[in-house]
């Protein structure tokens, strides 16, 4: 995986900027509705989270990279928290909506599955989990570039199932007790590749997770084929990304409205602070994870919500 601490400086500008974020956020909003607060797992610089945020739908970025979190904290002060996607600092069944954009495809298969399990753990009854799926396939628009790239992927043994394979994640989420709800797409406007950009990406072997240990000859042959294409700086068609969503138990009671009712307890545990030992407080919607996950069928109804705050990311933060 890329070093996102250093990538943070160029991340937004090289991934479609605000336009991509707004398109992604609009598609996500169509899947999760007005449910909030939302946890954005691997939320990076917060560019999508900020576009998704509304007064009634605050979004919290949970990410592992200091560089990305620093950008997110600038964008969404107090709403960026250091967190491992495999151990989210939230209680079981406490979060109305969890999103995950452009993360699962970067992970080993078992890790991607574990991230889904963690999302399912923190989702409140009636909550929604939405994630991008089939990202590599989104980029394959059948252009002359893609034909060359397909050969290279085959040489890398990358034709087998991707970690964000929609069908596989669907089966996995079903096993976690989630119900598939909807699928939508959004266009990566301006993200169509040119031969020149693809050559640059291939030369920088970090850009594609699947490149692995590809033999230098295979990469060299692809580079030569790409360099011979016409329109070296002409963009091929834009990718169209897919998002899928799953919900917890169908027919779960509707979530209480946001903002919280005036009787919420101020100062209740937040994602950046530890809860005292013992059972989780009953009046906190988003709080510290409590350890063991109760069976879905025995989950308690969601407690009332309390506003949450986070600290700016620091290296010392756990």
Ligand X SMILES: C[S@@+](CC[C@H](N)C(=O)[O-])C[C@H]1O[C@@H](n2cnc3c(N)ncnc32)[C@H](O)[C@@H]1O
Which residue in the set 27, 101, 173, 199 belongs to the binding site for ligand X (CB under 6 A)?
A: 101
Kindly state the smallest distance separating residue 43's Cβ from ligand X, in Å.
Answer: 5
136 vs 148 by CB, closer to ligand X: 136
Binding flag, residue 129, ligand X (CB under 6 A)? no
- Provide the strand spans (E) within 164-221: 179-187
Nearer to ligand X, 84 or 146 (CB): 84
Residue carrying structure tokens 């919607």: 285
Interaction between residue 42 and ligand X (CB under 6 A): yes
**Closest to 151 (Cα-Cα) out of 90, 79, 80, 224:** 224
Which residues have CB under 8 Å from 217's CB, separation 6+? none
Q: Is 112 in the site for ligand X (CB under 6 A)?
A: no
CB closer to ligand X out of 64 and 137: 64
210 forms part of the interface with ligand X (CB under 6 A): no
The least distance separating ligand X from the CB of residue 315, rounded to whole angstroms, comes to 14
Choose which of 25, 28, 48, 97 interacts with ligand X (CB under 6 A). Answer: 48
Minimum distance between the CB of residue 313 and ligand X, rounded to whole angstroms? 11
Site residue total, ligand X (CB under 6 A): 16
> Is 4 an interacting residue with respect to ligand X (CB under 6 A)?
yes
Residue 68 interacting with ligand X (CB under 6 A): yes
Parallel, antiparallel, or unpaired for β 38-41 and 80-82? Answer: unpaired
Segment interacting with ligand X (CB under 6 A) among 63-71, 148-156, 195-203, 271-279: 63-71
Angstrom distance (rounded) from CA 274 to CA 281 = 12
Give whichever of 54 and 111 is closer to ligand X, judged by the CB atom. Answer: 111
Say how many C-beta atoms besides its own lie within 10 A of residue 151's C-beta.
14
By the rule CB under 6 A, 248 interacts with ligand X: no
Please state the closest distance from residue 268 (CB atom) to ligand X, in A.
Answer: 24
The one segment of 40-48, 137-145, 291-299, 309-317 that binds ligand X by CB under 6 A:
40-48
Phi, psi of 128 (to 5 degrees): -125, 135
Among 65, 245, 284, 290, binds ligand X (CB under 6 A): 65
Cβ closest to ligand X, residue 13 vs residue 297: 13
CA distance 276 to 267: 13
Among 28, 29, 47, 173, binds ligand X (CB under 6 A): 47
**Which of 24/148 has CB closer to ligand X?**
24
Query: Given the rule CB under 6 A, which residues bind ligand X?
Result: 4, 42-44, 47-48, 63-65, 68, 84-86, 101-103
């Amino acid at each position: 995986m890329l070093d996102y601490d250093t990538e943070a400086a160029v991340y937004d500008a090289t991934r479609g900027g605000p336009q991509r974020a707004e398109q992604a956020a609009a598609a996500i909003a169509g899947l999760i509705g007005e449910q909030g607060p939302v946890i954005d797992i691997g939320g990076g610089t917060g560019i999508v989270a900020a576009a998704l945020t509304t007064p009634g739908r605050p979004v919290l970025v949970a990410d592992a990279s200091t560089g990305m979190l620093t950008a997110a904290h600038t964008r969404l002060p107090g709403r960026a928290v250091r967190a491992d996607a495999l151990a989210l600092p939230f209680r079981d069944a406490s979060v109305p909506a969890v999103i995950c954009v452009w993360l699962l495809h970067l992970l080993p298969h078992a890790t991607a599955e574990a991230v889904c399990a963690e999302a399912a753990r923190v989702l409140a009854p009636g909550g929604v989990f939405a994630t991008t799926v089939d990202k590599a396939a989104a980029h394959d628009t059948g252009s002359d570039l893609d034909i060359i790239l397909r050969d290279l992927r085959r040489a890398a043994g990358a034709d087998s199932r991707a970690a964000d394979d929609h069908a596989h994640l669907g089966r996995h989420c079903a096993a976690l007790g989630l119900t598939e709800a909807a699928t939508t797409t959004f266009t990566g406007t301006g993200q169509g590749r040119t031969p020149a950009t693809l050559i640059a990406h291939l030369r920088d072997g970090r850009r594609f997770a699947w490149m692995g240990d590809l033999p230098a000859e295979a990469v060299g042959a692809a580079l030569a084929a790409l360099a011979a294409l016409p329109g070296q700086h002409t963009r091929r068609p834009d990718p169209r990304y897919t998002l899928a969503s799953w919900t917890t138990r169908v027919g779960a009671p509707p979530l209480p409205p946001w903002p919280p009712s005036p009787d919420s307890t101020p100062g209740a545990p937040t994602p950046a602070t530890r809860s005292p030992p013992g059972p989780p407080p009953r009046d906190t919607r988003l709080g510290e994870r409590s350890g063991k996950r109760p069976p879905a069928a025995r989950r308690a109804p969601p407690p009332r919500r309390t506003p949450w705050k986070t600290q700016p990311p620091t290296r010392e933060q756990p």
